[in-house]
Chain A
């Protein structure tokens, strides 16, 4: 995994949840362990759009369960043309 992407995703998740970065781990699930409901996840994905300047349609983000899933998804997205 790309360390830079991982670091930035961790930072965004910690900002959205208002938790310390060291509380975020790769294997944690967004819904059950980080307690992100659907609105929380919506907030996360627009924050990730903003951070990485990539469009993330909701249907593409469906099925992402863990923090690691999100990082891999973002790594793939960053290969696409940027929003700017």
Chain B
């Protein structure tokens, strides 16, 4: 069985806007959010990079999250629930409360056994792991030191000890739900529970390619008739109280180094690029649906997914293979899956991280496979890098580009590293077929092909 697969809804929680239309306006306006990292991180380490793209304060109510739920859900899961809810509602579904399960819904008009969840994440609930680890590690040490400080209150040299006590601060409890908060499959599981979706429920944990791989696997499940509907995308949350996660990417030398001008520091495909902009995270969810199923219920259709492929470099844990042979193969295989020639593609949403190596290899492969005329941009030039959610954000942007016939600019691109047809300013572009591609630590490569739905 091979069925046509369409995108009928999308939902987004991002640094530049909550809600897919606000997010899309932000992309078209090039409205990046770039600030210096939290002040207290700097007392724990010396960082090479000092910039990130923070999320706005999360309004849990608007994500459909109850006050008490934040005590047993990691933010990566809450983001996924918020984006998932919006995607289903935008797809035209009504969510009906389930009486016997608190805060659970049934999606009107679908058979829950024929609906699956395919979600990507890079590091899952690392925030909860670190938050509870700090409690585990510091609680008794801090209590001993606090008792010592209490017994030596008149000692004039207590200032240093008080500084240490401040650095050893921890949360109020070791959370009894920590395992279910930190496990990478929590966002996928939470979506299945929340919306009573009992088909396959799969987490793709392939770093920066996770979102694209998840969307691709959702596409295949619908195409092959395993499900009628796939809730798919990615979620990531990269904040922790001490900047551990930021430190990991920073010490690996991947983050933007030149931070003298925060507004222009993030510059994928530019000769002066110096690394990627670390994002606090976000979530993007797409509803993929069998075209006939969507038509029967009169659903809005944003775009059609027509191809997907994935390959593996087998080269290095942290570096793309020189020459990009497996990236070229993933693109040619995805095109074959879509039954399209490279010349049919007129828009590429690139991985475009802003690291020296990625952009050089990726630009070379784009030129080899597609030539110089295909339009190229990088959504990371606006959002920064949301790791496991990035491919999902870029799939949403690709679908919106096809739906609206508009592309966003590749922000801060002054001097391109190669003479490709980069989108230099947002504007009308009548794209008919597009590719969104992602590459990841480990060596995972993935690409999806979409076309305008007529």
Contacts and interface: CB of A to CB of B under 8 A. Distances in A.
Nearest to B172: A83
A55 B175 CA distance: 11
Interface stretch (A21-29, A42-50, A70-78): A42-50
A46 B66 contact: no
B71 A43 contact: yes
Nearest to B102: A18
A31 B68 CA distance: 19
B176 A16 contact: no
Contacts of A12: 68
Contact of B71 (A46, A55, A84): A46
B71 A18 contact: no
Contact of B172 (A18, A42, A49): A49
Contact of A15 (B68, B72, B176): B68
Contact of A50 (B71, B103, B176): B71
A58 interface: yes
Interface in A40-67: 42-43, 46-47, 49-50, 53, 55, 58
Chain B interface main SS type: loop
B296 interface: no
Contacts of B175: 46
Contacts of B67: 15
B103 A43 contact: no
B173 interface: yes
Contacts of B71: 43, 46-47, 50
Interface in B428-450: none
A15 B70 CA distance: 12
Q: How large is the interface on A (under 10, 10 to 19, 20 to 34, 35 or more residues)?
A: 10 to 19
Given A18-B102, A18-B103, A47 B68 contact: yes
A17 interface: yes
A17 B102 contact: yes
B177 interface: yes
A46 B173 contact: yes
A43 B172 contact: no
Interface residues of B, number: 12
Interface string B356-384: 00000000000000000000000000000
Interface string B161-185: 0000000000011011100000000
A58 B173 CA distance: 11
A46 B180 CA distance: 15
Contacts of A46: 71-72, 173, 175-177
Contact of B66 (A15, A49, A50, A84): A15
Pick the most buried of B67, B68, B71, B172: most chain A CB atoms within 10 A of its CB: B68
Contact of A42 (B66, B102, B103, B176): B176
B176 A58 contact: yes
B158 to A, nearest CB: 21
A55 to B, nearest CB: 7
A55 B68 contact: no
A12 B67 CA distance: 9
A69 B335 CA distance: 65
Nearest to A16: B68
A50 B175 CA distance: 12
Nearest to B173: A49
Contacts of A47: 68, 71
A18 B68 CA distance: 10
Nearest to A42: B176
B372 to A, nearest CB: 57
A55 B177 contact: no
A23 to B, nearest CB: 13
B156 to A, nearest CB: 27
5 closest A-B pairs by CB: A18-B102, A83-B172, A47-B68, A15-B68, A46-B71
Interface of A: 12, 15-19, 42-43, 46-47, 49-50, 53, 55, 58, 83-84
Interface of B: 66-68, 71-72, 102-103, 172-173, 175-177
29 contacts: A12-B68, A15-B66, A15-B67, A16-B68, A16-B102, A17-B102, A18-B66, A18-B102, A18-B103, A19-B102, A42-B177, A43-B68, A43-B71, A43-B72, A43-B177, A46-B71, A46-B72, A46-B173, A46-B175, A46-B176, A47-B68, A47-B71, A50-B68, A50-B71, A50-B172, A53-B172, A55-B172, A55-B173, A58-B176
